[in-house]
Each structure stands twice: as C-alpha cells, then as structure tokens.
C-alpha cells in the first residue's frame, strides 16, 4: 500500500531535513512562552478577587498576595520575552538553513532536467517558485510557526479554562468564535477544493505577471523606440488586468464576511456581558458570580489577539501549502533516464537513424504533428554539415536531439557507433561545444565567462580569445572587468565571439552551431567566420545556417522542409538534383543584390 504524500506543514517539515530538530525545539519553547504570556491575566484576576472579597473592608486585603501576584505577572512577562528571543533565534537559524538547502536542491534538480521542461515553463514561473515561494517558506518558518504554536496553545488553553470555569459562559465564548470562523471561511468557498482552487487562481495570475513582466522589461527599448504604450505588450497588459479583476472581485467578496468576523471577534465582550448581567441579577447572586464575570471579561481580552493571529496564520498556511505544492511539482519532474551500463565514445562520427520526434505540451503529452520525421544521415568524424531550410523546418531540433535536450520518439542517434542514451550526461556534454544565436553572459569577469567553469591558465584564456577574434575586447576592458557592472556591456558581436572563445577553450570534438551569424553586421560576421575557421579544425561540425554562403564551406548540406530532410549532399550536387535547393539558392542571391535606391 502506497503511503499518502504529505502536504502543507507536514510536507514543509519534511523538506526541512536535518533542521527539523531545531524547529521542534523552537516550537516547545514557543509553547512555554505562550503559557507565560497568560499568567499576568490570572495574576490580575487574583488581585481583583482579593479586592472584591474585601470590598467592605479594604484593610483586610492581603498585601502579600497582591505583591506576589504582581511579581509573578512581571516575572512571567520577562520569562516569555526571553523564551521568545530564544525561540525566534532558533527558528531563524533553522529557516535560513532550510532556505539555503531548498534553493540549492531546486537549482541542482532544475539543472538535471531536460530542456523540454523549460520550453513549457516560463522564466517568470520558475523565478517565482525559486525565489518568492521559497522566500515565503523562510518567512513562515522563521516567524509564523512560533506564532502559530503560541496562538494554538493560548487559544486552546483559554477555551478549556472557560468551559471548566462555567460551561454556560464557556459555550457562549466557543459558539461566538465558531460562528466567526464559519462566516470568514465562507469567503473562500464551502469546500476545501474551492479554497484550493481560489489559491491556485491567485498563484497562476501572479506567475503570469512574473512571466510577462520579464518579457516586457526585455522589450522596453522597442516600446520606447516606437513610442508605444504598455498596451502594446498585450500579454503583460492582459496579465495585469486579470490580476486586477481577480483581486478586486475577491476583495469585494471578503468585505462583508470579514466585517462580521471582525465584529464577532473584537466585540466578543459584548456577547458575554448580557450573560454576565444575568448572573449578577439572578436571585442566587453572590460575590463569586461577580468574580466569574470579571474573570471572563479579563481573559476574553487575552483571547482576541491570539485568535486573530491564528486566523491570519491559517490564511498564510494555505498560501504556503500551495507554494510547497508548486515546489514539489518541480521535484516531481524526472531527468532523462540514464543507462545502467554507460559507454564512452572513442570516435566522434554521428549517425541519425530514422529519427521521429514530437514536442510535448505542459502536461507531457506529445503534439499530434511531429517536429522531425524519419531523419537519417551519417557524418564522418571531422566532417562538417550545414542544415538549411525555412523557419520551422526542424533545423534546430536536430541539434537539440543530438545534445539530448530531448529524447527521440522513434529511431536512434549514435556518436561513434554508441547510442547517445548509453552515454552518460557528463561524457555527452564534454564531447560537444555549443554556440547558439542567443549568448548568455554570466555576471562575472571576462576571464570567468571564457573559462565557464573550466580550469585554465590566463595564457590559455588569452590564446582562446585571440583565436576567437576578441583580443581587442580583452585589451579594451581587461580580463578582470565584470560584465554587466558599471555600464560594461558587450555588443552582440562581441558577446558572440566571447562565446566562441569558450568553445575554443573547451576544445570538444563535436561542434554545434545554431545560426550564430544571422544577426551580425558585416564586420562582426567576418571576424566570426575567421574565429569559426580556427574552432572547426579537426572537429565534427553541424551548423544551422541562416545564410547560404556559410553553408558552402561545409562538406555536406542538408535541406529540411516540414521536419524532413528532402535533399542531402554537396552544394554542387544539390543544385543539380534538388529544385527546392536551387530556388533557395536563387532567392539568396537575389537578396544579396537588393539595395535602397534614391
């Protein structure tokens, strides 16, 4: 029988790992602090009792009882302060360690996931989980768990004391708070599922804003350049509008129930006073009835704060539970399966054998249309292949499958005769260098950006930079200059050549290029081509070519259309055998002749 997965605060404690002991100890101290915080109310009751019982002769008041009650009240407050100090120190220490370990675990797990996961989850969604949801957990563990324990212990103890003191007044007290709880929880819905759905909507809309705002900031220069307003980014505007309508509607929905709830809780004494009046005016009235009423009135004030805090915490706990569930959704994603008997290639020829592949939706279900259909070709070690074709033909998908960003649906991909599924991830990545159109630069020095984690001397770094035609970038800024700081930003061409320097330094036997020169000016393109000539020497090269003049330098060219290779061979062979390639070549030549005439 499978064990039911833990949820909410139980799952949070499970995620806390070895720091669970700190949280338990912190909770125990918090419980003691809660008890100490109610001692002054009892001390006050005994002082009042002493004065009421001796109301007709105050000289009979026992000063020693009054003194010790006052002393105990002050001492209990001081002890509660010390216990709270220790409690929050322990809870903060535990929370920071949990935050550190949880973020590290998430980062490592995300790094192990295939690229397919990131195509269906936006940067905003992942950022919100990795940053905001984890941050909320830290805040909840550090502050809210001790408060939660104190509120539960305090409210429960007072309810029991009320019922034991006088069950009639106790029932009035309990009934008032039960009605308040029912009224407020009606805001979220009648069932747990409705409450959960409400929170899911809230989190979904926040994630949508996160995702669209990142894209908006990225494109703000275009917005300003064309004098457009925020409405030109329809996704962002739509996300903000949806969030606005949801929160506004939810606020209106909460107004009346919360008003009733606040009245019942804060005006609790108004509901007890009529019953107290009944006790005082009945025929069997005595001084102890007055004391009982005073007792309830005094302690009812002490119940308001923990109960309100407990209710607020229950709302936060529901949010934390939803956040933990979204963290678990990341942990539930499985990396691509690894072979139990891995092999390491000793040669680096490449073969695609009847490969079919379809992308999947966010639920993991493949789309009906394949991105690649029956892809087959071989490339000898040291040979180069250019893949050309219209946008959406499946060119980049070939590179992604070779790097095992995804697994094939059918067919095999082999390196050196070994199926890439039988090669460990580290060996596969070590055998390849990647240069894509989008260049990611670390917020670090130029040296570390070129090294990208590889151990290398400054001499090796400078040599790679020189071969990548970016020595003038190094001379201009220096190896120690941090990219992104103090206005130091690289142009597209400079960043591309730094990326090439990484690949040269890595010196992997297989090189994958994806439209690396499609957006460069002629000067940067010339420098890039010079760098590529150094990088490609002796390598097995596959490049997605946007400009056909780049493809001419390759040993073989593959023309793709609708996910299939419709022509394969040298440039001369394709001009003779493929009308589609001939049309593409003529179109390219026509664009080269295009100019703006006055």
1: pLDDT confidence band, cut at 50, 70 and 90? very low
For residue range 439-495, list pLDDT tens digits in order. 677 778 888 888 887 788 888 888 888 887 787 888 888 888 887 655 467 777 778
For residues 379 and 381, give the distance between their C-alpha atoms in angstroms, rounded to a whole number.
7
DSSP, residue by residue, 295-331: HHHHHHHHHHHHHHHHHHHHHHHHHHHHHHHHHHHHH
Handedness of CA 202, 206, 211, 212 (dihedral sign): positive
**Which pair of tokens denotes residue 592?**
């080269």
pLDDT tens-digit readout, 43-54: 877 787 777 777
Selection from 402, 449, 466 nearest residue 429 by Cα: 402
Closest Cα partner for 319 from 5, 12, 3, 4?
12
Structural domains in the chain, CATH included, are 14-330 (1.20.1560.10), 350-593 (3.40.50.300)
Q: Is 542 helix (H, G, I), strand (E, B) or coil?
A: strand
Work out the average pLDDT over 555-560.
92
Burial of 527 (0-12, 13-18, 19+ CB in 10 A): buried
| Residue position matching structure tokens 């010196």 | 507
Q: CA-to-CA distance for 315 and 255, rounded, in angstroms?
A: 16
pLDDT per position as a tens digit, 137-162: 777 777 777 877 877 887 777 777 77
Residue 366 DSSP code: B
pLDDT at 362: 64
- pLDDT band at residue 184, thresholds of 50, 70 and 90? low
Closest Cα partner for 509 from 428, 431, 400, 417? 431
Higher-confidence residue: 382 or 40? 382
What is the tens place of the pLDDT at every residue in 396-425?
Answer: 899 989 988 888 999 999 999 999 999 998
Tokens of 445: 């020095």
The pLDDT confidence band at residue 84, using thresholds 50, 70 and 90, is confident
Nearest Cα to Cα of residue 84 among 13, 145, 39, 161: 145
Strands 350-357 vs 540-544: parallel, antiparallel or unpaired = unpaired
Tell me, what's the pLDDT at 411?
94
CA distance 313 to 554: 65
Q: Say how many CA atoms lie within 13 Å of 401 toward its Cβ.
A: 29
Nearest-angstrom CA–CA distance, 292 and 108? 61
What pTM does this model have? Answer: 0.65
For residues 138 and 99, is the Cβ–Cβ distance under 8 A? yes
Give the span between the Cα atoms of 175 and 36, in whole angstroms: 26
Q: Which of 550, 506, 514, 511 is nearest to 530 (CA)?
A: 550
CB contact at 8 A, 349 and 518:
no
Q: Which is it for strands 556-561 and 564-569: parallel, antiparallel or unpaired?
A: antiparallel
- Return phi, psi of residue 86, to 5°: -65, -40
Mean of pLDDT over the chain: 78
Asked if the model's pLDDT at residue 79 lies above 90, the reply is: yes
| CA-based nearest residue to 385, from 249, 544, 266, 493 | 544
Query: From CA 575, how far away is CA 552, in angstroms rounded?
Result: 12
d(CA 259, CA 266): 10
């Amino acid at each position: 029988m499978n064990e039911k997965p833990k949820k909410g605060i139980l799952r949070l404690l499970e995620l806390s790992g070895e720091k669970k002991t700190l949280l338990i100890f912190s909770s125990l101290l918090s419980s003691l602090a809660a008890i100490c915080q109610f001692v002054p109310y009892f001390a006050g009751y005994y002082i009042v009792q002493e004065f009421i019982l001796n109301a007709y002769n105050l000289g009979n008041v026992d000063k020693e009882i009054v003194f010790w009650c006052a002393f105990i009240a002050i001492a209990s407050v001081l002890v509660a302060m010390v216990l709270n100090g220790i409690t929050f120190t322990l809870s903060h220490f535990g929370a920071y360690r949990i935050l550190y370990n949880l973020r590290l675990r998430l980062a490592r797990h995300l790094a192990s996931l295939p690229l397919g996961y990131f195509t269906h989850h936006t940067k905003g969604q992942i950022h919100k989980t990795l940053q905001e949801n984890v941050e909320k957990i830290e805040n909840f563990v550090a502050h809210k768990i001790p408060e939660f324990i104190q509120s539960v212990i305090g409210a429960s103890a007072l309810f029991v004391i009320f019922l034991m003191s006088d069950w009639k007044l106790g029932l009035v007290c309990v009934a008032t708070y039960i009605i308040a709880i029912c009224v407020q929880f009606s805001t979220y819905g009648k069932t747990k599922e409705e409450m959960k759905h409400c929170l899911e909507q809230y989190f979904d809309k926040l994630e949508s804003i996160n995702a669209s705002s990142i894209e908006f900031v990225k494109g703000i220069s275009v917005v300003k350049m064309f004098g457009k307003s925020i409405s030109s980014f329809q996704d962002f505007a739509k996300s903000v509008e949806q969030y606005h309508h949801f929160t506004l509607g939810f606020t209106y929905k909460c107004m009346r129930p919360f008003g009733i709830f606040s009245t019942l809780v804060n005006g609790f004494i108004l509901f007890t006073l009529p019953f107290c009046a009944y006790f005082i005016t009945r025929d069997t009235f005595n001084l102890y009835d007055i004391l009982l009423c005073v007792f309830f009135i005094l302690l009812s004030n002490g119940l308001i704060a923990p109960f309100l805090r407990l209710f607020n915490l229950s709302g936060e706990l529901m949010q934390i539970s939803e956040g933990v569930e979204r963290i678990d959704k990341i942990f539930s994603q499985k990396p691509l399966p690894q072979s139990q008997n891995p092999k390491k290639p000793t040669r680096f020829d490449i073969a695609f054998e009847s490969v079919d592949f379809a992308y999947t939706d966010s639920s993991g279900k493949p789309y009906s249309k394949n991105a690649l259909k029956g892809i087959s070709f071989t490339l000898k070690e040291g040979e180069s292949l250019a893949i050309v074709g219209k946008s959406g033909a499946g060119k980049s998908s070939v590179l992604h499958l070779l790097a095992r960003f995804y697994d094939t649906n059918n067919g095999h991909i082999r390196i050196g005769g070994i199926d890439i599924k039988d090669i460990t991830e580290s060996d596969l990545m070590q055998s390849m260098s990647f240069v894509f159109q989008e260049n990611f630069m670390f917020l670090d020095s130029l040296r570390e950006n070129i090294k990208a984690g590889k151990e290398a001397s400054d001499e090796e770094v400078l040599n790679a930079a020189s071969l990548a035609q970016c020595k003038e970038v190094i001379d201009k800024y220096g190896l120690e200059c941090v990219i992104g700081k103090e206005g130091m930003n690289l142009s597209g061409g400079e960043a591309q050549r730094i990326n090439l320097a990484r690949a040269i330094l890595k010196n992997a036997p297989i090189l994958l290029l994806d439209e690396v020169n499609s957006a460069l000016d002629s000067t940067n393109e010339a420098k890039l081509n010079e760098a590529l000539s150094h990088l490609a020497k002796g390598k097995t090269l596959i490049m997605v070519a946007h400009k056909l003049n780049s493809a001419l330098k390759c040993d073989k060219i593959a023309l793709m259309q609708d996910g299939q290779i419709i022509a394969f061979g040298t440039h001369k062979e394709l001009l003779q055998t493929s009308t589609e390639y001939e049309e593409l070549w003529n179109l390219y030549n026509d664009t080269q002749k295009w100019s703006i005439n006055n």
